[in-house]
Structure 1
Amino acid sequence: MANAGFLVFLLFNLLAIIMAEDTDSGPCYRIATGALAGVVLGDIILTVFIVGVTYCYASKRRCRKENADKVYMNVRANCKP
């Protein structure tokens, strides 16, 4: 078992070396730090907005469902002689 673990470790290190050599040989697209921060911040804002809208709609639906049950129970209670 230890030999298999060592072989996997050796394989991953060899792949890392090969990948490091391949990425150094060509031009690389660079992204500015401000643009990256803007993308991350925009993603966080959009996620919070989606969660907030979902929570609002879910709570309104829950309130309507609870109120509908109360009305139904009152109507049934009023129908009994």
Structure 2
Amino acid sequence: MQKPADVIAEAFRDLRPGGNLYLDVNCFSLPATVRKQLGWIDQLHPHHFSPTQMRSLISSAGFTIKQLEVTKASFEQSGKKFIAN
């Protein structure tokens, strides 16, 4: 996926009014420079978002976040489940 913001915006346009978007995203609470280096290492997953960036992408597309679940994992990674409409 080259442009994640475009994909989320397209989902907003495609959903019926009142429809929900469910996302399960690995977010990294690491400095931006470290997250960028992860993209070079993990070529299958070139985008590594912070929780704040993910919230911004979702909101910028027009969604309202209704629910957010956080699960902790290792090395400053946490799973984020966003439910937005």
Compute the TM-score of the two structures, normalised by the length of structure 1: 0.18
Compute the TM-score of the two structures, normalised by the length of structure 2: 0.17
> Which structure has greater helix proportion?
1
Whose relative contact order is higher, 1 or 2, with alpha carbons under 8 Å and at least 6 apart?
2
